[in-house]
Structure 1
Amino acid sequence: MTSFQIPARSGILPFQGIETLIAAGAIAADTPFDPDQVQPASLDLRLSDQAWRVRASFLPGRRKVEERIADVAMHAIDLPAGGYVMEKGCVYIARLQERLSLPKGLNARANPKSSTGRVDVFVRLLTDQGASFDDVDEGYDGPLYLEIAPQTFSILVKPGTRLNQLRLKAGEPAKLETRSVGVDLRAGEHGIVGYRGRRHAGVVDMDHIDGHDPRDFWEPLTLRRGELLLDPGEFYILASSDDVEIPVDQAAEMTPIDPSVGEFRVHYAGFFDPGFGTDEAHGAGSKGVLEVRTHDTPFLLEHGQTVARLVYEPLTERPARLYGEGGSHYQSQGLKLSKHFRPWG
C-alpha cells in the first residue's frame, strides 16, 4: 500500500495523482485496472456484470442505491461477456467495477466519455446516499453506479465497457476563466457542416472501434446559408467555430447550455484534458465537437452563435501524461463522429 498526501494546492488530480490513489487503495476495482484506464486528468470507469432495467430515474437520497433500485427495478440483468443490448428509450442502472474510499479533502465529479455523448447515450453517476448526480462527496466510501439511457441508438455493452469518467479534486479548485463556445455552420469537408442521427438505425457496439458504417446511422447536413433549424427530438453532431486549447497545467469542462442563450442542450461529455489542442501535445487546431439536442420547440442556430461555456480549472501539478500522447481518436479533430464509426468518405 502507498500513502496518499493531499496536495496543498487545490486543483484537479493529474495522471500520477490518480495512480497514487489506486496504489493506496483509495480507488479499488473488481478486476485489475486496464493499462490505459488512467487518463491525463481523469479515470475511465467500467461496467461490471450487474445491471437492472428500471422504470424511472432516481436519486438515492438517504438510502443506498441498491435499496432504491428495489423500488423501481423491472428486472435484473447479468451482463454477459458477449454483450447485452440496451435499447433506446429505456433506462438502466449498472454497478461499476470501481469503488472509492476517498480520504478527507478529496471529492470527485463524473461525466460521460466523449464517445458516449457522441452517440447520444445519457449517463449519470450515482453514489450511496448521493444528493446529486455525477458529484461524489468528500471522503465518500462505497460503490459506484451508472444510470444509462440511450436516446437515439440502442447500444451493445459488456462487462468492462467504459461509458463515463471520473475527475478527482483536492479541495474546491478556483475557476480560472470561462470562455464562450460558438457553433461552426460553414461547409467543411465534403460540404458537410454536421450530422443528424437516424431514428431507426441499428445497434452501436460500444467496444467496436471503426466498426460501423456512418451512413447507416447518420444523415449528413449540407447548408449554404450558415443557419440550421434544430427539430425537437432530433440529435445533432456539430463543431465549434473556434479551436479549443487546454493548457498543460489545466483542465476544462464544457457546461450544458443555459436558458439565456437557447432552448437546447449542448455537450453531454464535458471533460477536456490537459494538452488538448496544444502544440506541445501535437494537437494544434482541435475543434470542440458539440452534441446538440433541442427541447420542445424548434430553434434556429446561426453560424458563430454562442452555444456553450468552457470552464477552466487548475491541476494540482503538471500531468505526467498529456492528452493524445500514445495516440488519440480526437486530438487535432475537426467535425468528427465518435470512434465507433469509420471515416466519412
Structure 2
Amino acid sequence: MTISGGTGVLPAQAIEAMAARHEIRAPEPFADGQIQPASLDLRLGTRAFRVRASFLPGRGRSVAERLADFTMHEMDLTGGAILEKGCVYVVPLMESLSLPPGLSAVTNAKSSTGRLDLLTRTIADSGTEFDRVPEDYTGPLYAEICPRSFSVLATPGLRLNQIRFRRGEAKLGDDALRALHASDRLVTGEATIDEGLAFSVDLSPEAGEISGWRAKPHAGVIDLSRTGAYDASDFWEPVRSDRGGIILDPGAFYILVSREAVHIPPGYAAEMAPYIAMVGEFRVHYAGFFDPGFGHAAAGGAGARGVLEVRCHESPFALEHGQVVGRLIYERMTEPPRTLYGSGIASNYQGQGLKLSKHFRPA
C-alpha cells in the first residue's frame, strides 16, 4: 500500500523535529522512551488541584481561570500524593505546545492507565472537547484524572496519557481498509468492516481458564511508579466463562480481551473506538493508541490481541462469546517510524493476550 507523504499521523522522528523547533516545550529534556513510534507521552507536573467537578474551559477561557472556580484544594506531588478513588483532579502537564498551521493533535490515556480504570483526559485552553487540540494551538496542557476503581499514588514525571499529532485527514475509509486487510491481514478470522474494523470479545468456555478480571471494590493504593510490584489477587478477582458468557454486574469494572488477534502494519497507526456509543447496559471504553508494529510478526507481536476495559451500568447484562463490542480505526502515517512498537523499545504489551497493567506481577 502507498503511504501519503503529506498527510497522516506524525512518526517519532517528526516529533523529535517538533521539539527541536520548540513546537513542543518542556522545562526538562524528554525522558527515555517518552517518544513512542507514533505518539509522545505526557508527563505530570508538580501540582495537583482537587476540583469539585469535571469541567471544560470553553471558548475564550483558560483552564487556569476555571480552576479558580472549581478548586477545593491544591496538592504538591513532589514527594508523592494519593489521588483518591471517586475524586477529580487537574494536573498541569510538563509539556506545552505551539502548533504550526495544519497540525492538530489528539490525546488518549496510555494502556496501563486505562487498565487501572484511571480516567485520564487532556484539557487545553479554550477547549470545548476533551482530548482534542486544534491547529495553531499555543498554550499549556492539563490532565484531568479521576481514579474509579483504585486510589493511586502519583508523583511528578509520571506518564498517564499520550499525544498523537496529525496533518490533514489520516483516517482510512472502509474501501482503503479492505484493501489494506487484503494485503497485510489486519485481524484473524473474518474481517467485518463498517466505519472501521470490528472486533469481538473472547469468552470461550475453556474449563478452568480465566476469561477476564473484575476489580475488587475495596482494594489498597497503587503506586503508579512501580512495575510488577503487586499481586493481582489483592486487587482483582478472576472471571471464568464456563458456558461461553458472563453476566456483568452494575458498577463493576472488568478487563477482558478481544477474540481476534490484531495487526498494525508499519506505515499505519490505529485507535480503538466503541462499536456504538452504548451497547446494551454496558460501556466498552478503551485507553491508549495502537502504534505501528503492534501485532506485527517481524516486531515480535504475532498473535497480539486487544485488551478491553468494560464497565456495566444500571442493570446486569449478559455478554456472550464473540459479541462485537468495538472497532479499530486505522490511520495513515506520514511515513513509517524508524522504530516499531516492540522492536527494542521495551514495549509492555507486544504479543499480549489477556493482561493486566504493568503494575502487577504475571498471574
TM bin (shorter chain): over 0.9
Q: How does 1:202-241 map to 2 (within 5 A)?
A: 202-241=220-259
Q: What SS does the aligned partner of 1:184 have?
A: coil
Deviations 1:19-57 (A, max 9, x none): 110111100112211021000000000000021000001
2:182 corresponds in structure 1 to none
TM-score norm. by structure 1 comes to 0.95
The correspondence for 2:63, drawn from 65, 78, 81, is 65
In structure 2, C-alpha distance between the alignment counterparts of 1:153 and 1:339, rounded to whole Å: 15
> Is 1:341 paired with 2:346?
no
| Structure 2 Cα separation of the partners of residues 45 and 268 of structure 1 | 18
Identity fraction in percent: 56
**Counterpart amino acid of 2:136?**
G
| Shift of residue 134, structure 1, vs aligned partner | 0.2
Residues 260, 121 of structure 1: alpha-carbon distance in 2 compared, 3 angstrom cutoff = closer
**Conservation of the 8 A alpha-carbon contact between 1:261 and 1:306:** no
By how many angstroms is 1:259 displaced?
4.3
Query: SS of 1:48's equivalent?
Result: coil
Supply the distance in 2 between the matched residues of 1:157 and 1:197 (Cα, whole angstroms).
20
Q: Does 1:200 align with 2:218?
A: yes
Q: Tell me whether 47-56 or 180-189 shows the greater mean CA deviation.
A: 180-189
Q: Which residue does the alignment assign to 1:145?
A: 142
**Is 1:94 equivalent to 2:94 in the alignment?**
no
Q: Does the CA contact (< 8 Å) of 1:123 and 1:146 recur in 2?
A: yes
Picking from 307, 323, 326, the partner of 1:305 is 323
Report whether the alignment pairs 1:163 with 2:182: no
Partners in 2 of 1:329 and 1:189 — Cα distance? Answer: 28
Q: 1:129-179: per-residue Cα shift (whole Å, max 9, x none)?
A: 011100000010000001000000001110001100000001121324311
Q: In the TM superposition, what is the alpha-carbon distance from 1:190 to its structure 2 partner?
A: 5.8
Give 1:189 deviation, angstroms.
9.8
Please point out which of 319, 333, 336 is paired with 1:318: 336
Q: Distance in 1 between matches of 2:287 and 2:104?
A: 19
Over 6 Å off, 4+ runs: none
Question: Does the 8 A contact of 2:51 with 2:90 survive in 1?
Answer: yes
CA distance in structure 1 between the partners assigned to 2:144 and 2:286 by the alignment: 14
Bigger CA drift: 105-114 or 168-177? 168-177
TM-score, length basis structure 2: 0.90
**Counterpart for residue 18 of structure 1:** 15
Residue 197 of structure 1: CA displacement?
0.2
Bigger mean CA offset, 22-31 vs 193-202: 22-31
Q: Is the 8 A contact 1:123 1:163 kept in 2?
A: yes
Partner of 1:76: 74
Match of 1:191, SS state, is coil
| Partner AA of 2:254 in structure 1 | Y
- What is the CA–CA distance in structure 2 between the aligned matches of 1:84 and 1:114, rounded to whole Å? 22
Structure 1: runs of 5+ lacking an equivalent: 1-6
Q: Could you say if the C-alpha distance between residues 187 and 341 of structure 1 is closer, same or farther in structure 2, counting changes exceeding 3 Å?
A: farther
Give the whole-Å Cα distance in 2 for the aligned partners of 1:168 and 1:259: 25
| 323-332 or 88-97, which deviates more | 323-332
Is the Cα contact below 8 Å between 2:103 and 2:136 reproduced in 1?
Answer: yes
SS of equivalent to 1:95: strand
Per the TM alignment, residue 270 of structure 1 is displaced from its structure 2 partner at its CA by: 4.0
Structure-2 separation of matches of 1:16 and 1:189: 47
Higher mean displacement: 317-326 or 254-263: 254-263
Structure 2, unaligned runs of 5 or more = 178-195
Give the match for residue 43 of structure 2: 46
Alignment of 1:97-112 (within 5 A): 97-112=94-109
Q: CA deviation at 1:76?
A: 1.1
Are 1:272 and 2:290 counterparts?
A: yes
Q: 2:24, 2:97 within 8 Å by CA — same for their partners in 1? A: yes
> Which deviations, in whole Å up to 9, do the C-alpha atoms of 1:75-131 show, x marking residues without a partner?
111112x31110000000000000000100100000000000000000110000011
* Matched position secondary structure for 1:280: helix
Offset, 1:296: 1.8
Amino acid at match of 1:46: R
1:257 to partner: Cα distance: 4.3
Correspondence for 2:312: 294
CA drift of 1:295 comes to 2.0
Counterparts of 1:107 and 1:188, CA distance in 2:
45
Any conservation in 1 of the 2:97–2:138 contact (CA below 8 Å)? yes
For residue 332 of structure 1, what is the aligned residue in structure 2?
Answer: 351
Equivalent pair of 1:53/1:77 in contact (CA under 8 Å):
yes
What is the number of equivalent residue pairs in this alignment? 337
